[in-house]
Structure 1
């Protein structure tokens, strides 16, 4: 009966399983932490911490789909973060002065360009010189991590430009209650429109469609999740000191009980969502994505069919580099400093997120939404263990075990559907 219902709703069983696993993780950590894990404050911080990994995991899906791997994403984040840190602290102030409004846009543009250039270079080595991606990106991990140290000879660079700090969340990157509800309303509208357009497209081409009540149920649950997330973001208030300074700056008297000013959704979370939507559109609607999945399904057949497999593969790694640049902005802004340790072990979390999200290491299969949900699962594990005071070595053991388990489950699933 349940299987028939899921088939009518066209719900991915693996995605449903991940949601169930996430619920178990959250409830379990909340019980073990004495009710701390599921507080608005911790969930808000969890969403910010997930943003950087989630952005990179969307690119890792396409990399793995093509039967490749990228072990250098954390090191690319590190070197790009160090470069844009030096750019903001040393180079741009000499030309524009401190706190210039152009500093943040230039830093973001530089991160995207540098990350993309590194990705394209590695993609060229893999695609045109036929060097295995494992070797190229393993070498890249060492090279770019060393380059990050070389930029400042190991010194931490801080602080970042005030406008740039908004990319990391915190008070500067909190959008507030009104903007959060507006974004939630727009998101709900887009969900309904997307379901309607998908239904109309299927009818026009004669494809089977879900029953009307099925679309209504999916819209109800999706919009409910969006509104609950918005309510949680608005339930976390600004610190009393920050709220008092805001009230004084705006000429608002400070009441005896203080003011409740919500954080709202964080800018890095919004960036991750926008990147996820853009990558989903790219993976589902563009010719480029059809080439990517064709290469992952059968590289020889894809090349014989006329696809320029080498140029496509190079673009995949270039896109991965661009996403690393965006994540570098989020990570550097969140820390308000560029450090040599930034991005350490991120490659493990990014790969694990993609694999947990249903991307097969055998290639040809993967979803952007699954990878982002996988990133939330991985970050929830780490956040929960930090709350419980678990030592870092044991955290790494758990993450490694989860990655191995995810690959094992994927192999079982693939054998079952054959």
Structure 2
């Protein structure tokens, strides 16, 4: 059996263009190119400060919360719905988890502050609340036929003010020390564990690429040339190792190191340094991205979601319970809002009234910029995460340059409209694929 399933008389490999051989999505390539150009421009105008390990580390942990919700927003938009309540739902889940840690468990149930299960119980409670609220909104949309725009617009107003009443408008903190490890700088793996994660992830990426090739060959589907598969595997592994190398290059400041050693009753050795490594929050995002991609591509639920978004009437006639599917999609969105609340509140080390403000716009923008079609049926998880990274890079770069907040919002809004326009033109030229 040959490496490719090309028919007889096909054009020789040497005559194929590089892009055709690699079968790269030109839209994804354009997004990556735009991101690279954006980073290079900001690096120049900030005198090289934008692409430092410190800023890249901060950029990753700032992106996580929105990126987590953006993966769920892909499913919502693919099914031709919208969720305007995600920022307020994040605030409600954050308030519930904060009250669980600082009042319910210590005062009502008698678990002392710092008890080893406080963080776990708080997260479970937050997930239950987020999933329940999401499912409730999905029920209103799916079974009562209330437009998702109206339901979630009401949720935007309701859940943030529910959070306000739960906390009496006060900032709640400090949160549990273990809980705060999910926030980024308070919880990192260190350099050695990060290199181990990089090795496992690189091997897994290469294995997935070649397992997919083997599966296609076994079923008689056309595949890329072997050299193209190898090049893609090399690029994927190199990107993973390079990303971890950048994070490991960000050293813990000497003042923080001194406090760490003083807490242990030790003195910091002369010339000692230590890198932060991979943040736990980024590891959580990676796990969610993998899980959501598997759901989208490998499960019946994922096939039903994209089939319903492509043609709701045909999906219902084929036996798909589109009403129950809507409940499931919004429930997933609610659970992801709760996980984002963990990351966001842990990064701040407390719950504040303004947490998650305008996140609904950032999440929708990330999904749309990442290629999710507002008309439904089309969207990718990795595209949404890349869209979130582009949005955060744009905002962070403008903040470093000294652009004031109103102009930042004007630029972000303009970029969103431009991205939708480009997406519409791209789909017209490619026949909507």
User: TM-score category by the smaller chain?
Assistant: over 0.9
Gapped regions of structure 2 (runs ≥ 5): 1-13
Alpha-carbon deviations, 1:70-102, whole Å to 9, x = none?
A: 000000001111111111111111220101101
The alignment of Structure 1 onto Structure 2 pairs a total of residues equal to: 416
Q: What residue in structure 1 maps to residue 417 of structure 2? A: 404
Query: What's the offset of the Cα at 1:2?
Result: 11
| Distance in 1 of aligned mates of 2:16 and 2:368 | 24
| Distance in 2 of aligned mates of 1:254 and 1:268 | 28
Query: What's the offset of the Cα at 1:32?
Result: 0.9
| Distance in 2 of aligned mates of 1:212 and 1:252 | 55
Query: What's the offset of the Cα at 1:415?
Result: 1.4
| Distance in 2 of aligned mates of 1:140 and 1:183 | 39
- TM-score, normalization by structure 2: 0.94
| Distance in 2 of aligned mates of 1:2 and 1:336 | 58
Gapped regions of structure 1 (runs ≥ 5): none
Q: What residue in structure 1 maps to residue 377 of structure 2? A: 364
Aligned with 2:36 (options 20, 23, 27): 23
Q: What residue in structure 2 maps to residue 108 of structure 1? A: 123
Query: What's the offset of the Cα at 1:255?
Result: 3.8
Query: What's the offset of the Cα at 1:10?
Result: 1.4
Q: What residue in structure 2 maps to residue 134 of structure 1? A: 149
| Distance in 1 of aligned mates of 2:52 and 2:301 | 42
Q: What residue in structure 2 maps to residue 232 of structure 1? A: 246
Question: Following superposition of structure 1 onto structure 2, how do residues 33-112 of structure 1 map, counting pairs within 5 Å?
Answer: 33-94=46-107, 95-112=110-127
Tell me whether 1:321 sits opposite 2:334 in the alignment. Answer: yes
Residue aligned with 1:302, SS: helix
Aligned with 1:144 (options 142, 155, 159): 159
- TM-score, normalization by structure 1: 0.97
Q: What residue in structure 2 maps to residue 158 of structure 1? A: 173
Query: What's the offset of the Cα at 1:6?
Result: 1.3
Query: What's the offset of the Cα at 1:3?
Result: 8.3
| Distance in 1 of aligned mates of 2:15 and 2:217 | 26
Q: What residue in structure 2 maps to residue 340 of structure 1? A: 353
| Distance in 1 of aligned mates of 2:256 and 2:386 | 32
Alpha-carbon deviations, 1:288-319, whole Å to 9, x = none?
A: 11110111110000000111110011100000
| Distance in 2 of aligned mates of 1:120 and 1:372 | 24
Query: What's the offset of the Cα at 1:4?
Result: 2.7
| Distance in 2 of aligned mates of 1:113 and 1:15 | 35
Tell me whether 1:167 sits opposite 2:158 in the alignment. Answer: no
Alpha-carbon deviations, 1:127-180, whole Å to 9, x = none?
A: 00000000100110001111111112211111000010001011x311100110
How big is the alpha-carbon RMSD for the aligned residues of Structure 1 and Structure 2?
1.4
Residue aligned with 1:96, SS: coil
- The verdict on how the C-alpha distance between 1:2 and 1:129 changes in structure 2, with shifts beyond 3 A counting, is farther
